[in-house]
Structure 1
Amino acid sequence: MKPIAWIIGLWMCLSSCTRDTFLFTSFHEPANEGLRLLYSPNGYQWKDLDKVLLKPEVGTQKVMRDPSMVRGKDGTFHLVWTCSWKGDKGFGYANSKDLIHWSEQRFIPVMEHEAATVNVWAPEVFLDEETGQFVIIWASTIPHRFTRGVEDEDNNHRMYYTTTYDFKTFAPTQLFLDPAFSVIDAVIVKRKKEDYVLVLKDNTRPNRNLKVAFGKRATGPYTNVSEPFTDPFTEGPSVVKVKDKWLIYFDSYRTKTYEAVETKDFKSFRKAKVSVPEGHKHGTILKVDRNILKGLLP
């Protein structure tokens, strides 16, 4: 028979090898280096892998801002990102099985049908398990298309979306959200079947804060937009569920801090104690098997 210490050691090893970890897509300003990743065992304290995994090659400016990533049912990671501040009518895309070896990068021209489009910002990819489709949402400005407040016409955003099963063929672009104000940085959250939350930035002046809205399908419609749950000058929400709480991370760009709140119901919010490396800029959070992280570590 094996010694008890050996058995305990084997059990601890197996437990460690199968435990999930959290990954947080990231970039550093001025966004010309490319994809970075943070990792965390608990969703609260984060470390930087301290290396660039994918250098941007598409778009007018060839930058990588707002990297959003989701893992398909076949294990493939799909990444989308903002590739220019203005001028582009689409976003960047690449995929990987291990986050080390990447496909050829492609430019997805989702707004080419709208000649006056100013920008395509912060694409967010979401796997809709109800339909099997990937839903991609983003913010664009089309001047003189919508009612505006004090914002300039080229800063009056609305959310748009497309869907795809394979990232080769995409459904025609549609309007995703018009809350009667300029909106950017929206994130889809599924609580349960026919119960979705949209975390969004009210980009109007003087607000520039985060709110939530509610819907029955991933593609909306989303209604009952809440009062803000963050101070002004906050953006880039990233949402992850840790045990029985939802953590909403965000960039407090006036104070140059990265913060988070906790919620159980998306109605009441409490500041969370988190630790995020300096220089991190917003992306998305996903849970993966620890073996994925092991392949990325030195």
Structure 2
Amino acid sequence: MKTFLKSIRAACAATALVAAFCGAQAQSTPGPFAGYLLVHFTGESAQGEQTYMATSTDGLHWTDLNNGQPVLMSTVGEKGVRDHTIVRSPDGSKYWILATDLRIASGKGWSVAQHSASTKLVIWESTDLVHWSAPRLVDVAGAIPEAGCAWAPEAIWDPVSQAYIVYWATISPLNGTDKARIYYSKTTDFRTFTPPQMYIDRPGNQGIIDTQILEVAGNIGGFKYVRASGDGQITFEGSQSVLGAWTAIGDLSQIGLPGSKVEGPILYQFNGENKWGLWVDQYAAGKGYLPLTSINMGSAQNWQIVPASAYDLGANRKRHGAILNLTASELNRLTTQWGGTTPVSQLQSSNFPDRFVRHSNFSVRIDQNVSPLDDSKFRMVKGLANNAGFVSFASVNFPGYYLRHTNYAFELAPYDGSAQFAADATFKQVPGLADTAASSFQAYNFPDRYIRHSNYLLRLDPVSTQVDRSDATFRVTN
């Protein structure tokens, strides 16, 4: 059971990638591609089970976005997400992120997570990869008798069905055996789903907890689709259709990487090449992901290990994610919004220099002797509503949360992807109204109002008197 749980955890570290990429590649997507986006989680830490992003220009060297902090936070269901996948629509006008609704960091334990957890998926959608909707829950596995979970969702566009095939692992009893099997459902909008149907069931007691499908450009190796699964080995199969018959190709034990050493495959294709990448988690040795490459997807023996000097997976630990191939404009949007390194800052009151802006129970004020100190630390990132000359204040200890005004009062709130939130959380940094060596912050959507403190609470108010100007002046300290 312990080995099985390890296998589940790591297999959940891979599934989403291929389907996400396949969902993009199987459609008439824009091109040519110039980079890659990895969407993933990092582990069972306080903020690890959220949505992180990293980009690459070559598929081997990766840079973490948003200063290595989450880009999206789940505020629904278990308020934690794992096993991400990302999908582009056929016309390239919309994107979806799907993830497992699960938060192991809450202390629920793996037995509960397998047998008595959420049967729902968490879904976000976007039109530009930068601004995302609020997360929503979709119950895909609730109709499966005694379903214990819905893990590692994947999605691929199926031209035969003219719909996305969404598939995932559910642990439930069937024919006297309680184990993980892969189920699928169809959708065209990621809101309405057909009833779940069995997709893959291994013989006997062998479970299968992670499957990824990749469309193979040019049928290299004789198959239009190849899938990798975690079923005791890293097993490969090929097919000419998503819902058709599948042929066994082999597993990684053939090249000295048996299931006792590695798990959690991540598959993707390199841009502009008949070359594919595979990451496997070296869970037995605790070494993290090991990248491999292949030029023939029709054989499991063609994978070659990438030398350690030839790749860099970034600072964050990468767990179960998805890779989407990016156009130059898509890559530019992401790096413009989330790239670079932004220092941690504090906002010191100009007229009460012993007080700093801080959040407390999600309200915002200026205080002395802030405790915990991280409540007063923010990153001044590019403005959510306008990244040219405007800023937003991202919390350091609540990643994904920003200072925003509502009814002219301030709060710390999770970014919900809406245009209203973005506007309320965006400000123009100008020379200090009471001291030009300091700064004041003018509201993006109410340019006649500024951030100021009143009775130590932060507000958004017009400024007319010297006291107002002093209350609206802050020093940005690092």
8 Å CA contact 1:91–1:108 kept in 2: the answer is yes
CA distance in structure 2 between the partners assigned to 1:245 and 1:38 by the alignment: 21
The answer for the alignment partner of 2:305 in structure 1 is 271
Return the offset for 1:197. 1.1
**Which residue of the partner structure matches residue 74 of structure 2?**
56
Distance (whole Å) between structure 2 residues aligned to residue 165 and residue 89 of structure 1: 20
1:115 deviates by 4.0
Contact 1:177 1:222 survives alignment (8 Å): no
Q: CA deviation at 1:216?
A: 2.2
Aligned position for 2:134: 104
What are the within-5 Å matches in structure 2 for residues 202-241 of structure 1?
202=231, 207=232, 209-224=233-248, 226-229=250-253, 230-231=257-258, 232-241=260-269
Residue of 24, 44, 53 corresponding to 1:37? 53
Q: Are 1:135 and 2:173 matched, yes or no?
A: no
Q: 1:23 to 1:104 in 2, by over 3 A?
A: same
Q: Partners in 2 of 1:100 and 1:213 — Cα distance?
A: 35
Q: Does 1:196 align with 2:228?
A: no
| Partner residue, 2:291 | 260
Larger radius of gyration: 2
Counterpart-to-counterpart distance in 1, 2:148 and 2:135: 22
| Residues 26 and 281, structure 1, Cα contact 8 Å, conserved in 2 | yes
Alpha carbons of 1:102 and 1:198: their partners in 2 closer, same or farther (altered >3 Å)? same
Equivalences for 1:16-27 in 2 at 5 Å? 20-27=34-41
- Residue 64 of structure 1 aligns with an amino acid whose one-letter code is V
TM-score by length of 2: 0.53
RMSD: 2.3
Between the two proteins, what is the percent identity of the paired residues? Answer: 25
SS at 1:284 equivalent: strand
Moved more, 182-191 or 275-284: 275-284
TM-score normalised by length of structure 1: 0.82
Q: CA deviation at 1:98?
A: 2.0
- For structure 2, list consecutive stretches of 5 or more residues without a partner in the other structure: 1-31, 103-112, 340-478
2:269 partner SS: strand
In 1, the alpha carbon distance for the partners of 2:183 and 2:147 equals 12
Give the superposition deviation at 1:79. 0.9
C-alpha contact (below 8 Å) 2:138/2:191 kept by paired residues: no
Which residue identity does 1:57 align to in structure 2?
A: T
- What is aligned with 1:185? 210
- Distance, in Å, in 2 between the alignment partners of 1:227 and 1:21 is 29
What are the Cα deviations for residues 68-95 of structure 1, in whole angstroms up to 9, with x where unaligned?
0011123211111011234111211111
Greater shift in the superposed pair: 245-254 or 71-80: 245-254
1:281 and 2:319 matched: yes
Q: Where does structure 1 lack aligned partners over 5 or more consecutive residues?
A: 1-17
1:237-291 CA-partner distances (Å, limit 9, x unpaired): 2211121211112322232311122222341221124321241112111111122
CA positional deviation for 1:41? 0.7
Give the superposition deviation at 1:19.
5.8
Quote the residue 2:367 is aligned against.
none
CA distance in 2, matches of 1:184, 1:146: 18
Deviation at 1:45, TM superposition (A): 1.3
Letter in 2 for 1:80: L
Alignment deviations for residues 132-155 of structure 1 (CA, whole Å, 9 cap, x no partner): 311111111112x1576xxxx3xx
- Give the distance between the partners of 1:233 and 1:108, measured in 2 at CA: 35
- Distance of 1:245 and 1:201 partners within structure 2: 22
**Aligned amino acid, residue 306 of structure 2:** A
Distance 1:147 1:236, change over 3 A: farther
Partner of residue 165, structure 1: 188
1:219: how far off? 2.2
Q: Tell me which amino acid in the other structure corresponds to 1:62.
A: K
Contact kept in structure 2, 1:251 and 1:282, CA below 8 Å: no
| Contact in 2 for aligned 1:248/1:260 (Cα 8 Å) | yes
Q: Is the 8 A contact 2:119 2:147 kept in 1?
A: yes
Q: Is the 8 A contact 2:33 2:325 kept in 1?
A: no
Displacement after TM superposition at 1:236 (Å) = 2.7
Give, in whole Å, the separation in 2 of the partners of 1:102 and 1:162: 24
Check the 8 A contact 2:281/2:289 in 1, yes or no: yes
2:198 alignment partner, one of 154, 170, 175: 175
| Matches of 1:19 and 1:198, distance apart in 2 | 23
